[in-house]
Structure 1
Amino acid sequence: MEHSDIQLVRRKVEEIYRIESRRVLATLIRLVGEFDLAEEAMHDAFASAVEQWGRDGIPNNPRAWLVSAGRFKAIDVIRRRSRFDASLPKLAVKPEAAAEIEEDVDGGGVEDDRLRLIFTCCHPALSSSTQIALTLREVCGLTTEAIATAFLTTPSTIAQRIVRGKAKIRDARIPYQVPSMEDLPARLDSVLAVIYLVFNEGYSASSGESLTRADLSGEAIRLGRLLMQLLPDPEVIGLVALMLLHDSRRKARTAENGDLILLEDQDRSLWNWSQIEEGHRLAGEAFAAPMLGVHAIQAAIAAVHTSAADTTSTDWAKIVALYDLLLRAEPSPIVELNRAVAVAMRDGPQAGIELINVILERGQLARYHLLHAAQADLYRRLGQKVQARSSYESALKLVSQEPERRFIEKRLRELDS
C-alpha cells in the first residue's frame, strides 16, 4: 500500500475514534463486564483497524467492526488470564456472530449502552468527586490530565478517583443498567447533579485565575444533550435549557483582561442568540410538563433574564414569583439569597438587605462570599458606605477566584473615592 493511502486510513481511523470511541467503549463494557478490560480491548481494536482497514478497506459499518474486534480482543485477554491463574473461573464464551453485533449496534443498543454507562458512573454509592471524574473520563473521553486541569488538581489524584470508582463498581457489583422506573427519579437526580456540577465549574470556576472554563461548560452541555437524546425527561430538558441560557452570556461576562462584568453592565449584543433561542424553546417545553422540576423553574428564570433588553426592563416581579416556586420545590438558603436580590431589584435595596439579614441571623451562608458581596452592593446602592465596606471586606476574605477578588477590590476603591 502507498504511504499516502496508509496516512489516509490512519486519518479516517482517528476521525472515527473521535466520533465513535465512547459509543464503542459503552457497548464493550456491557459485553465484557469490566471497565479496564473494555478500554484495553477498544484501543486494541482501533490499532487493528489501522492495519486491517489499510489492507482490506474500511468496512461498511466501522462501529460494529470495532465492537466485534474489541470483544474478541477481550476474550483473548480473559483466556490468557485463566491460563496463568487457576483460581479464575473457566471461560465459557459464545461470541456473537458479526451479523448479530451489527444488528445490535444498528438497532439502538449502543445508545442504551451509553445511557447505562452514564447511570453507572453516577451511581449514588460513589462519591460526587468520583462520579464527576468517571463521567468525564468514560462518557466524555477526557484525559486524566484534562480533568485535573479543569478542577485544579493533579492527574494522579484524578487517576486515583477513577481507579477507586471502578473498583467500587466491581466489588459492590453495581449493575451496568438503566434503573427501573421505580428507582429512576432518585437516580436521575444524581446524574443531573453531576452534569450541573461540571457545568458550574466551567461557568463560574470555584477558584483560580479565570472566571470561566469554556471547555468544561461545553462538555457539560454536550453530556446534557446526550442524556436528553437518550432520556427526554422534562428535568433533563430543563437542565439543558438552563445551561444553554447561562452559557449564552459567557462572552459578555468578562473583559479582555479577564475582569468580571456584572449582568447589568454586559454588552448584550455579545450574547449567543442562537443558544438563547434554543434555550427558550426547551425551557418552555420543560415548564409545560405536568410535574414542574427545579431545573425547569431555574431555566424559566434564566429565560426571563435573557428576554429583557436591559436590567431595568427585566420583569423582576415574574422572577420573584419563580423564585417563590423554586423555594417550595427546593428550600435552600442559596435560593433565598437569589430571591432576596430579585426582591431588591423589584422593591428597592432595603427590602433585599432585610431578607439577607434574616439568612445571616439563622447562621446560614456566613462563609459564602457571594452573600456578603450582594449585601455590600445593596448597602452601596443605599449610600451606606460604612456598612458596604464591612460587607465587601467580609467577601474579600472568603473569595478564592481572582477576577472576583479584583472586582471586590475595585468596589472598595470606589467607596474611597
Structure 2
Amino acid sequence: MFLKNLVAQNPAFARAAIELHQSGELPPDTYVIDLDMLGTNAETLCSEAHRLGLDVIAMTKQFGRNPVALDTLKKNGVDSFVAVDMTCARAIDRAGQPVGHVGHLVQIPRHEAPAAAAMRPQNWTVFSDTKAEEAAAAAGAAGLDQRLLARVYDLDGMVIETHAGGFDADEIEAVADRFDALDGGHFGGITTYPALTFDRVARKVVPTPNLGTLERTIERLRRGGRSGLSVNGPGETSTETLATLANAGVTQVEPGHGFTATGAYHAFAELPERPAMLYLSEVSHLDGDAAFCFGGGLYLCIGSVDYQPQALVGPDFERAVKQSVDAALSQNHQVIDFYGRLAQTEGRTLRPGDSVLFCFRAQAFYTRSLVAPVSGIQSGSPRVEGLYTVDGRPAR
C-alpha cells in the first residue's frame, strides 16, 4: 500500500534515503521527510482550501513537530499550526510559528493555562465550563481576550472513548452566553472530533454524524444572531475531502497526514498528494530464517485497517525495490520495539548493514526516533537539513 505508493509516486525519495543511509549521513530509526514533496503537497492542499474559504491549521505530530518541516509548510500556504498537547505547542512556539489551536485533542492542564495563553493561540478548545474559566482567567491575566471553541456532541455522534468530552449541542446557546460572560474570553465557535473517518469496508473517507452536528449547530447559532464564528472540522483531511467539509459549513481544517500522503485514504486511492515521509532502518543481524532491523519508531497506525507490514531491503535502491519482504512488528505495545523482524528471502540475500525502508501512517511524536528533513531530493541534490528529536529539538 504505502510502500507501493512510495516506489511508484516518489522513487527519488526512496533512492535518496538509501544512499544517505549507506553514506552514513542518515542513521537507522529515523523518520525521513522529503521537504520538496512536502512543500508541493502543502501548496496543492492549501490552494484548494483557500479557494473554498478554509483556514488551514496544520497537525504536525506525525513528523515530530519538526521545525524545518514547519517552515516548509508555512511557506507553502499553511496559515497556522494545531497543538495536540503542550509539548506540541511549545515546539511550534519555539520554532517561531503561529499557534493556531490548543486544546484540540488534549485539554490544557490547569497550571499550564498561563503558558498556553502566553503563546497567544488563535483558538482554544474547551470541553467544560471549568476549562473555559481557566483559559479565560489565564488570558485575562495577560491582558488578552481569548477566542474559545466549544467541542459539541449529540447522542447520535461518533465518540472516541479515549478522548471524549464536550458540550451537548442542544445547549449551545447557553454555552455561548456563559463563555461571553467570562473576563478574558469569549465564544468563538465550535468543533468536534472526528468530522470525517476512514471507512475500512468501503476504503474511503466518509463524514461522521459529528459533521452533521456541526452543520446543524452552527445554523442554530446563526439564526440566533451570532456571526463570524469558527467551525473547526478535523479528521482524515486531504485535498479530496475539503469540499465536503466546506459544504457543511466548516471554516477551519487540520490536515496532518494529508501533507505526507500517509493517511489511510492514501493507501487505497491515488490522491493529489505524494509520499513525503518514510521510516528508515538498517539490518542489524541475522538469526535463523529472519533478519532483524533496528526499531524505535515501528508504531503503525492505519485507521483500523489490518494489513501485512512490508519493507524494502537492500544496500542500494536497485536491489531494495526487488526485495519487498514481510515484517513482523511488536504491535501489542507489550514488547518494546527494539527490533523489527524481517522475512529472509529465498536466496538469503538480506545482509547486516542493508538499508530498510518502511512507509506507513506514522505518529513520530509517540516514538523515540529521530526526524531528518531532507531538501533537494526532487532536483537530484539531496541534503540532510539536520537531525531532530520528536519534540522538534536538534539531536546532534
TM-score range, shorter chain: under 0.3
Structure-1-length-normalised TM-score: 0.23
Structure ranking higher in helix proportion:
1
- Between the two structures, name the one with larger relative contact order (CA 8 Å, sep ≥ 6): 2
Structure ranking higher in strand proportion:
2
